């Protein structure tokens, strides 16, 4: 068959890329064409996403892709929960606000005055976090009601970027499921949740299944850029679900970790698991490709190392991530731990000092050196993964014999080994570019080039950057990790 090219526009919480995917009937190869920083902007006390810059970089990626052999279609994936508001004239009312902005601080107490936490989970099956779209809108209604009244439509980030290309609106299902406004039973917007929280249903468009054509690029855009026509496909707009589509699993029951700024730890189910136990454990049922459910927990991930590195750079100490890992490898093991999801670690700033304060507050030795800080973060993530594994097993009643760790974290051999040792099961790391592979795969399925998810995963399993990490076989290592896990769990219960 003739080679077909598609373009993945992948927006992470700290950077974005335009990556071409080429399929020749036997293999899917990727070429990075354009990379750019995604840096929020603080203006007068509010933290915004720099949407004009993100759109400019998108156009730069389209031009480069057109010059690099062209492409038949584009898919866009981003982080979850954030959105833009459009008025009746088709104008953006405000820059999208960053989920790390402080406007939702303390909002859950106000939300639960309107709808019980148990009822909210029963209706949506989504992990409760202050950053969720539902709570952002509740905060916005209190702080700037005029903005919502002026809005004609709300578009989540991948839908907003697709709208800029096509003029067509809608809510792709995987990104819609991050809002805590989608009914877990019907798959449509929850009128009951919206009414309880005072959210206007009229600004939400129709929910669109992953893999549907969103529309062709506008003539004005094509003329401006001087490029040929192309289609925009509504791939799994939530980057986690694009990554999930690319997990090279051979067995039905498996654990995945999509490890980047966030660690999304979970399993794939055919139906939602939203009972009392899942509610008590605050686990999430997000919708993936072909109606699959990603039963998962959002865990703060490599943000802790990324933000620590930024602090050290501000202090004049510049290290690459590889150098930080080598330093951590030499530090004393299993010395002190943190809860990665401690609220103090959410804002940008001096994360290393907050880690020291946390350890001191919980009666542990303070990690002082850079090596000790990085080791503390990695070991804490591995132990949090084990705790979440046990929570998922308790809800599903299933045993899992393998963890697929995909995304940027797959490049950290240290974290992968720690995860295998903490969880006592093998870790299959890679592909690093799982989100992009999944984005491209859904485009190829929608175009009839691939038969479905099973064929896509078989194709992706041939990726050359996949590595296997087995748990250390000696009993001493297992005992040390078991003892550390006991201390970790006690720390979580008493902090």
Going residue by residue through the chain, which has 495 residues, state the pLDDT in tens, using 9 for 90 and above. Answer: 689 999 999 999 889 999 999 999 999 999 999 999 999 999 999 999 999 999 999 999 999 999 999 999 999 999 999 999 999 999 999 999 999 999 999 999 999 999 999 999 999 999 999 999 999 999 999 999 999 999 999 999 999 999 999 999 999 999 999 999 999 999 999 999 999 999 999 999 999 999 999 999 999 999 999 999 999 999 999 999 999 999 999 888 999 999 999 999 999 999 999 999 999 999 999 999 999 999 999 999 999 999 999 999 999 999 999 999 999 999 999 999 999 999 999 988 999 999 999 999 999 999 999 999 999 999 999 999 999 999 999 999 999 999 999 999 999 999 999 999 999 999 999 999 999 999 999 999 999 999 999 999 999 998 888 999 999 999 889 999 999 999 999 999 886
Torsion of CA 455, 459, 461, 466, to 10 degrees: -150
Q: Please give the pLDDT value at position 495.
A: 65
Q: Please give the pLDDT value at position 473.
A: 93
Which has the closest alpha carbon to 283: 124, 127, 116, 81? 127
Distance CA 379, CA 377 (A): 6
Task: Classify 261 as helix, strand or coil.
Answer: coil
Which has the closest alpha carbon to 152: 82, 89, 199, 196? 89
Select which of 239, 270, 290, 472 is catalytic.
Answer: 239
Q: What per-residue string of b and e applies to 6-18 under the rule 16 or more CB within 10 Å gives b?
A: bbbbbbbbbbbbb
CA 180 to chain centroid, in Å, comes to: 15
Distance CA 267, CA 254 (A): 6
Spatial contact of 59 and 66, defined as CB atoms under 8 Å apart: no
Predicted TM-score of the model (pTM) = 0.93
Does CATH place domain 4-239 in 3.40.920.10? no
Task: Classify 79 as helix, strand or coil.
Answer: coil
Task: Classify 135 as helix, strand or coil.
Answer: helix
Element (H, E) at 23: strand 15-23
CA distances from 457 to 376, 442, 463 (A): 34, 11, 10
Give the N- to C-terminal CA distance of the chain in Å, as an integer: 60
> What proportions of the chain, in percent to the nearest 5, are helix, strand and coil?
45, 20, 35
Spatial contact of 125 and 285, defined as CB atoms under 8 Å apart: yes
To the query of whether residue 101 is one of the catalytic residues in this protein, the response is: no
Please list the residues that pair with 36 across neighbouring strands: 16
Which has the closest alpha carbon to 407: 429, 391, 374? 429
Token pair of 259 as six digits: 């490890």
User: Residues 6 or more apart from 493 whose CB is under 8 A from it?
Assistant: none
Q: Please give the pLDDT value at position 462.
A: 85
Distance CA 375, CA 398 (A): 31
Element (H, E) at 468: strand 467-469
Which has the closest alpha carbon to 28: 444, 421, 380, 353? 444
Taking the CB of residue 34, how many other CB atoms lie within 10 A of it? Answer: 20
Domain 249-430+465-495: CATH superfamily, name plus number: ATPase, nucleotide binding domain (3.30.420.40)
Q: What per-residue string of b and e applies to 205-229 under the rule 16 or more CB within 10 Å gives b?
A: bebbebbeebbbbeeebbeeeebee
Q: Is the peptide bond before 431 cis (omega within 30 degrees of 0)?
A: yes
DSSP-derived secondary structure letter, 218: P
- Where helices occur in 68-132 by DSSP H, the ranges are 107-112, 117-124
Strands 171-172 and 403-406: unpaired
The ranges of the chain annotated as CATH 3.30.420.40 are 4-239, 249-430+465-495
Distance CA 99, CA 178 (A): 12
């Amino acid at each position: 068959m003739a080679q077909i090219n598609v373009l993945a526009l992948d927006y992470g919480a700290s950077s974005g890329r335009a990556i071409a995917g080429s399929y020749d009937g036997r293999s899917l190869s990727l070429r990075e064409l354009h990379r750019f920083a995604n840096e929020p902007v603080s203006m007068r006390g509010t933290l915004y996403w720099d949407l004009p810059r993100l759109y400019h970089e998108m156009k730069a990626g389209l031009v480069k892709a057109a010059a690099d052999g062209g492409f038949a279609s584009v898919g866009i994936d981003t982080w979850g929960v954030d959105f833009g508001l459009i008025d009746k004239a088709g104008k953006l009312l405000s820059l999208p606000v960053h989920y790390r902005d402080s406007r939702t601080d303390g909002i859950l107490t106000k939300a639960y005055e309107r709808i019980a936490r148990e009822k909210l989970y029963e209706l949506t099956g989504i992990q409760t976090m202050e950053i969720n779209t539902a709570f952002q809108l509740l905060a916005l209604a209190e702080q700037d009601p005029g903005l919502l009244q002026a809005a004609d439509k709300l578009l989540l980030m991948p839908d907003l970027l697709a709208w800029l290309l096509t003029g067509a609106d809608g809510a792709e299902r995987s990104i819609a499921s991050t809002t805590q406004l989608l009914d877990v039973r019907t798959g449509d917007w929850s009128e009951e949740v919206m009414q309880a929280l005072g959210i206007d249903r009229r600004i939400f468009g129709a929910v669109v299944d992953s893999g549907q054509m969103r529309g062709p690029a506008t003539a004005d855009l094509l003329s401006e850029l001087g490029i040929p026509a192309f289609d925009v496909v509504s791939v799994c707009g939530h980057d986690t679900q694009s990554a999930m589509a690319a997990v090279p699993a051979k067995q039905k029951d498996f654990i995945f970790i999509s490890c980047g700024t966030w660690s999304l730890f979970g399993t794939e189910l055919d139906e939602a698991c939203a009972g009392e136990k899942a509610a008590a454990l605050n686990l999430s049922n997000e919708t993936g490709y072909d109606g699959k459910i990603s039963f998962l927990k959002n865990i703060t991930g490599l943000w802790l190392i990324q933000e620590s590195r930024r602090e050290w750079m501000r202090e004049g100490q510049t290290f690459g991530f590889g150098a930080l890992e080598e330093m951590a490898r030499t530090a004393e093991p299993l010395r002190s731990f943190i809860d990665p999801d401690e609220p103090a670690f959410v804002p940008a700033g001096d994360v290393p000092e907050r880690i020291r304060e946390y350890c001191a507050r919980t009666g542990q030795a303070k990690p002082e050196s850079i090596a000790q800080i990085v080791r503390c973060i990695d070991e804490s993530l591995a132990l949090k993964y084990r705790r979440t594994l046990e929570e998922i097993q308790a809800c599903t009643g299933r045993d899992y014999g393998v963890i697929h760790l995909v995304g940027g974290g797959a490049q950290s051999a240290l974290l992968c080994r720690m995860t295998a040792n903490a969880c006592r099961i093998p870790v299959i790391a890679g592909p690093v570019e799982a989100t992009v592979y999944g984005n491209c795969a859904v485009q190829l399925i929608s175009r009839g080039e691939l038969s479905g998810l099973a064929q896509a995963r078989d194709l992706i399993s041939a990726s050359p950057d996949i590595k296997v990490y087995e748990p250390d076989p000696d009993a001493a290592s297992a005992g040390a990790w078991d003892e550390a896990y006991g201390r970790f769990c006690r720390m979580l219960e008493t902090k």
